[in-house]
Amino acid sequence: MTQLSGGADLSGRPPIIPNDGPDLRAGAAPGARRGRSRRNREERRAGLLLIAPTLAIILIAVVVPIVWAIALAFQKVRLINIRETGLFGSYTFENFIEVLTSPGFLQALWTTIVYSVFGTGLAIGIGLIAALALRKPFRGRGIIRASLLLPYVAPVVAATFVWSTLLNPQYGLVNWFGQTVLGWSEPVAFLSQRWLPVSLFGLEIQVPIALVTVICFEAWRSFPFAFLFLTARLQAVPESLDEAARIDGATPSQRFAHILWPQLVPTIAVLTVLRFIWTFNNFDDIYLLTGGGAGTQVVAVRVFDYMTARGDIGAAAAQALVLAAILAILVTVYLRLFGRQEEQA
Amino acid sequence: MTATGLDKTALSRPERRGFNRDRFENRLFRVLKPIVIVLLMIVALFPFYYMALLSFRSLDSLLQNPGALWISLDEFNLSTYVDVLTPVSEGGQGFIIFMRNSLLVALSTVLLTLLVTIPGAYAVSRLQFFGRRQVSGLFLAVYFFPAILLAVPLFVFFTQVGLRGSLVALIIVYVSQVAAVSIYTLRNYFATVPVSLEEAAAIDGCGRLQTMWKISLPLAMPAVVSNGLFIFMIAWNEFLFALLFLVEKRDSWTVSLGLSQLSGSIEVPTTVLMAGSVIITLPIIVLFFASERLLVGGLTAGAEKG
């Protein structure tokens, strides 16, 4: 890092007079050099001064709490004795042993991974389809594009409330439609039922319906984000490439596979990382839809439950820490793998 | 790089009789495209239509006829809005107070964040100072950090000092949450302002702050405005920290928290809460469409490599 920051100096304003090296104009050089370094010092001071307020806020409200969270994770802290705990308690690994050996945590971790993988995949898939469908200009495209972004900008509380009303077993529109049009024999409790038996070609399959529903919600809510990025990338693909392939007789699917897809891969890779991180950390959506019930308890919701309902601060901090660590590992592994692929290509 | 991989049969193709893949695909996609677009529109917009629809109905009419997709004039009912906005003391749900709180929190967050991050972003993009790289890296890491991990110590701290229920504490947490992304987007924009302009100002005798204030800031105004709108939306929509810090004090609930808390109780009719949903969603939709062009640029600017 320090080496890089030396390099960054060069990428800035090129110094008019070199700081070192033999200078032939002996008379002019010392004064100019002194002026330059005074300017540098002034610039450094101004830079630190301007960044200081932001840095202070981030240190107070982010860095210190993180350090504190780490300290809490190694202490037996409960909500009841919260006022007596400080940084100098007795440290122990008990929380981590308790957390890592409890089946509930491992289950929640697995649910988090399934939720993130499918949520991310679906969101990017739908976003890609939307971006491709709206690629060519037509009347009203602008307003359609803008309105496709609504699920992403709308308040999450309102969105989850409408979804749970739509899916309500008593008066929800989906169940009404299923029962009167599709002929379901009874309403489906999409958000509070763990397994739904579905018969397919005579086979009875158990569908984890609540989990599938929250994944669908995640896809609905975040596909606009993928759509936005992919649209921007598609616009940057030179028209001539597509044109040339068309003249050579490439069909639309071939043009997509050989012209557009290679151009989109880097964007999709970035989107995958971003969406995966956000879905992995997501608390709001699942907490508001199911409260973590019916097999949808992800780690973030479990941390919240431990903290507020059980009042077990130490265990909550330990689980949140494990969540952050696993996320960091997954992202690192992904970047390594992907980085290598790029080199090979 | 890609043309070599093309299907050979497609390339060397004199007009063949019978099945023509190109014509088939063109026709297929011509049919599929409008269908896909209409489907996407329905999926994206129908929940909002349903929200607005239910907000004008009474609970009785919803229970009697859950499948109705439009509303007849005699069903049309504005009492839900009156009920949801009226203060609790007068028998309503008190959304007007939640809206005041949310507006206060969101506007303060925007102003405070911009006040702090505009100089910060300028410094990161323009000035060489010790640790510049590290500072940028720190901000980026903060952006991707699990909020729930931060929630634990903040919850402990605010409980210890008895600050739970305080909107000021919430604002500080919000500023720290959005400062990183704000600096990141603004930095990229400042970087596009030509250095020569600033040098010209410096030669004309402007000091550093004067240059920033009179030259760089006006040029970066579109980014600043879109950034402000973006922060407003984040603060208005935020749920987790509002839940953690404000839940015991109904007078300081924000709209998001208010809606989620009331939807958990059975006493408040669904259609009244739908009116509440419309009330909290409408400002965001209006803001979004009013500033869509600016905002879309702002949303992507943060993630593109600068």
User: With left for phi above 0 and alpha for psi between -120 and 50, is residue A200 left, alpha or beta?
Assistant: beta
Q: If you search the block for the tokens 């839809």, which residue do you land on?
A: A289
Tokens 């209409």 correspond to B38
Question: Residue B10 falls within a domain, yes or no?
Answer: no
Predicted local distance difference test score (pLDDT) of residue A17: 33
In chain B, the number of structural domains is: 2
Q: Residue B284 domain-assigned?
A: yes
B202 with B261, same domain: the answer is: yes
| Record: contact A153-B156, CB cut-off 8 A | no
Residues sharing a CB contact under 8 Å with residue B177, sequence separation 6 or more, in sequence order: A61, B147, B234, B241
> What CATH number should be reported for the domain holding residue B181?
1.10.3720.10
Q: What pLDDT sits at residue A312?
A: 85
Per-residue pLDDT tens for B156-184? Answer: 888 887 777 788 889 988 998 888 888 88
Q: What would the pLDDT profile of A306-345 be if each residue is shown by its tens digit?
A: 888 888 888 899 999 999 999 888 888 887 877 655 444 4
**Concatenated DSSP letters of A9-50:** HHHSSPPSS-SSS--S-TTTHHHHHHHHHHHHHHHHHHHHHH
Confidence (pLDDT) at B171: 92
Q: What is the 3-state secondary structure (H, E, C) of chain B?
A: CCHHHCCHHHHCCCCCCCCCHHHHHHHHHHHHHHHHHHHHHHHHHHHHHHHHHHHCCCHHHHHHCCCCCCCCCCCCCCHHHHHHHCCHHHCCCCHHHHHHHHHHHHHHHHHHHHHHHHHHHHHHHHCCCCCHHHHHHHHHHHHCCCHHHHHHHHHHHHHHCCCCCCHHHHHHHHHHHHHHHHHHHHHHHHCCCCHHHHHHHHHCCCCHHHHHHHHHHHHCHHHHHHHHHHHHHHHHHCCHHHHHHHCCCHHHCCHHHHHHHHHCCCCCCHHHHHHHHHHHHHHHHHHHHHCHHHHHHHHHHCCCCC
What are the tens digits of pLDDT across the range A40-81? 777 777 778 888 888 888 888 888 888 888 888 888 877 777
Inter-chain touch A173–B66, beta carbons under 8 Å: yes
* pLDDT the model gives residue B143: 72
Q: What distance in Å separates the CA atoms of residue A300 and residue A305, rounded to the nearest whole number?
A: 9
Chain B residues with beta carbon closer than 8 angstroms to that of A161: 259-260, 263, 273-274, 277
Residue A91 has pLDDT above 80, yes or no: no
Give the least confident one: A8-22, A245-259, A319-333. Answer: A8-22
Same domain, B231 and B267: yes
Check CB contact under 8 Å for A43 and B128: yes
In DSSP notation, A266-316 reads: HHHHHHHHHHHHHHHH--HHHHHHTTT-TT---HHHHHHHHHHTS--HHHH
Decide if A306 contacts B151 (C-beta within 8 A).
Answer: no
Does B128 lie in the same domain as B23?
A: no
Tell me what pLDDT residue A340 has.
56
At A203, give phi and psi (nearest 5°). -95, 140
Please indicate, yes or no, whether residues B72 and B120 belong to a single structural domain of this protein: no
* A341 or B266, which is more confident: B266
Residue A197 DSSP label: E
B146/A281 touch (CB, cutoff 8 Å), yes or no: yes
Task: Note whether B218 and B272 are same-domain residues.
Answer: yes
Q: Which of B118, B41, B186 is nearest to A149 (CA)?
A: B41
Asked if residue B119 and residue B211 are part of one domain, the reply reads: yes
Q: Å from B203 to nearest chain A CA?
A: 14
B223 in a structural domain: yes
Q: What is the pLDDT of residues A192-223, one digit of tens each?
A: 878 888 777 777 888 888 999 999 999 999 99
Chains A–B, number of C-beta pairs less than 8 Å apart: 301
Determine the average pLDDT of the residues in B247-271.
85
Give B147's contacts in chain A (Cβ within 8 Å): 281, 283
Least CB–CB distance from A9: residue in B3, B7, B128:
B128
Do B297 and B160 lie in one domain? The reply is: yes
Check whether A27 has a pLDDT greater than 60.
no
Between B167 and A121, where is the model more confident? A121
Q: What's the pLDDT score for residue A309?
A: 86
Could you tell me the residue range of the domain that residue B34 belongs to?
A: 18-85
Confidence at residue A2, expressed as pLDDT on a 0 to 100 scale: 28
Mean pLDDT for A263-276 is 89
Does B112 lie in the same domain as B216? Answer: yes
What is the C-alpha end-to-end distance of chain A, expressed in Å? 27
Q: Do B233 and B266 sit in the same domain of this protein?
A: yes
Q: Is the pLDDT of residue A36 over 80?
A: no
Looking at the fold, whether B148 and B284 belong to one and the same domain comes out as yes
